[in-house]
Amino acid sequence: MNLKIRNVQQRGDALFFRMTIPEDLRWHYGGKSEISRALRAHDELEARSWARILSVVFKRQFSDLRAGRNVAGIQEGDTIIESLLLGNSPRIIGEVPDAAVFARNTSHSLSMVYAEVRSLGRQSEKSELERGNSVKLLIEWFGDIAIETVTRSMLMEFRDQALCRMPPRMRQQSELKDKSLREIVQIDHERVVSNTTVNNRLAKLKTIFTHAVRYGYIRICPLVDLRIPVEDNFVEGRCVYSHDQLQRMVDGLALYATGRKASRHMRFWIPLIGLYTGARLNEICQLCISDVVCIEGVDCFDINARQRSETFKHVKNRASKRRIPVHPVLEELGFMRFVGHRRSRTDPSRHGTTNLWPKASHHQYKDWRNAMSHWFNVILRPRFLSEDELADHQAGRKTFSFHSLRHTFISQAQNQARMNPRIEMRLCGHMDRFISVVHARYGSDLHPAVLLEELVKLDYGLDLSKVMGRY
């Protein structure tokens, strides 16, 4: 076997993982210039898998050392590696490898396969967190067993006895924090997770088993056709706000137009922008000062995913990158005066990295929308929904959220404004189903003046007297 694999060296029949230690970190490893480990790999496939896993782990270890984390006691072959590989860890170079070390090991634990999938780095942080949580639940239920021992009947048991009986956000409930998963599902909970959540967890787990099939660890994926049917509740589940609800919301926003806290700006403007643009919450929350632009004499929101200095922006898909004209109602309320105030108080060289909203905060896994979503759901929503409407929402009969503003915009655009469907989809950041991808490459994007001509047709008929003239 003559291998050419990154970080793998062959010496006779033995395989070794080798990785150079950065000069500034070598003192942590006793002055060594490289990490060298014997691998439990019999063929090229296994060697490549081990090399990927160890490479990712050691690179993360280097990052931790540079950041001042885990500095004390870090040694080659430390507990991070041992816990990751769960007893299957390759031996440190220097030991005399016996025949058992190089015997083919066909057992791949769930955590080992997950570590290998994670090392590929193909998921966002949020998606990786969700997949990791799903794997943890499976391991907590069955233990860290070999993936080839997992059967379809076991996964059906896990779905029906565990996933379908879990309460929402169970680890955030103080009374459940110290209980095991099996203890938690034995409790008769008032609410359990939805079938959609169960299916999402199964989908995350399926990527692990699909990887195992691809690399020959198992022959077939046992996690096939285990999805639970979900009733299509699009119309009933995603509610649009009524005229009365919107009027109560706008009247309630008057409180934030006169406050002194810096957070008042985002709490006043973001719901109004969502209502008059149909933009998603995270798209609005991550706006920089430079993302409000004037194109051909039309002020626009530039929804993009350009990198910022401290974090990455994020958009849902390619169609989400777009420019939305500022609705005349927003201009009349003083939005452009607010933007001008932010520009004047910020160094022009930092307009592209400074958030438009003072006190905006970024959540590692929920982007920029986390704090604003919490405020909308906990503080604002109870102020403009009636008791009966809140009861319907809490019982799951109807869903009222910030995203309902987007549904309200689309409904109003189609029914009241009767916008051109192509322009309405472009404003909302939806894929244009009327033209092919090839055809879309010809010509430029729709001009802001054309978009504005349709956008001005949108009229909710709201009384804005309580919020007019505040900016």
Residue with structure tokens 């973001």?
270
CB atoms under 10 Å from CB of 324, counted, come to 23
The first and second tokens of residue 218, run together, are: 């198992």
CB neighbour list of residue 36: distance below 8 Å, 6 or more residues apart: 16, 17, 18, 92, 93
Q: Is the pLDDT of residue 234 over 50?
A: no
Spatial distance between the Cα atoms of 215 and 225, rounded to a whole number of angstroms: 22
CB atoms under 10 Å from CB of 340, counted, come to 12
Tell me how far CA of residue 159 lies from CA of 165, 166, 204, in angstroms: 9, 10, 13
Q: Is the pLDDT of residue 311 over 90?
A: no
Greatest C-alpha distance within the chain: 84
Q: Is the pLDDT of residue 298 over 60?
A: yes
Q: Across 12-21, 42-51, 364-373, 400-409, which has the greatest mean pLDDT?
A: 400-409
- What average pLDDT score do residues 110-126 get? 83
Helix/strand/coil for 306:
coil
CB–CB of 326/275 below 8 Å? no
Q: Of all helices (H) and strands (E), which one includes residue 14?
A: strand 14-20
Residue with the bigger pLDDT between 434 and 276: it is 276
Q: How far is CA 268 from the centre of its chain?
A: 26
Q: How far is CA 381 from the centre of its chain?
A: 24
Poorest-pLDDT segment among 8-22, 38-52, 98-112? 98-112
CB neighbour list of residue 347: distance below 8 Å, 6 or more residues apart: none
Mean pLDDT of the chain: 82
Percent of the chain predicted with pLDDT > 70: 82
The first and second tokens of residue 422, run together, are: 């192509």
Q: What is the pLDDT of residue 101?
A: 32
Q: Is the pLDDT of residue 447 over 60?
A: yes
End-to-end CA distance of the chain: 74
Domain ranges of the chain: 8-95, 110-230, 237-455
Q: What is the pLDDT of residue 105?
A: 45
CB–CB of 283/305 below 8 Å? no
Q: Does domain 237-455 have CATH number 1.10.443.10?
A: yes
Residue of 312, 258, 257, 314 lying closest to 284 (CA atoms): 314
Q: Across 33-42, 269-278, 380-389, which has the greatest mean pLDDT?
A: 269-278
Residue of 90, 71, 72 lying closest to 14 (CA atoms): 90
CB atoms under 10 Å from CB of 360, counted, come to 20
Spatial distance between the Cα atoms of 117 and 215, rounded to a whole number of angstroms: 11
pLDDT in tens, 20-60: 998 888 877 778 888 887 776 667 777 777 787 788 778 87
